[in-house]
Amino acid sequence: MRLRRSLSVRFCHIQHLAKLKHGRLVTTRREGTSIFYRICGEHVALLVENLLQHTEHELFMDPPHHDTSGAALTLKRELLNDN
């Protein structure tokens, strides 16, 4: 999963990304003036997935990750393979 930092990102978001980097939850790669953030490893990806699923349970009667059509599984594979 990649997060993109640009000039439009608020300073507080940059601070959050710095904390994630300091905690070794993300790695960074610089290309010119852009910095690309990537989740560090499968364990962190699973933590993020669990957090998102918990949020879906709080927001929806029928959480999207319970979708049996395969769309959610495809998205999950794409996110994990981007790691």
Give the tens place of pLDDT for each residue, 6-57: 445 666 777 888 899 999 999 999 999 888 889 999 999 899 889 988 998 8
Yes or no: say if 27 and 37 are a contact pair by the CB < 8 Å rule.
yes
Q: At what angle do helices 41-59 and 71-81 cross, to 10 degrees?
A: 150
* Rounded-to-integer distance, Cα 33 and Cα 22, Å: 20
- Global model pTM greater than 0.85: no
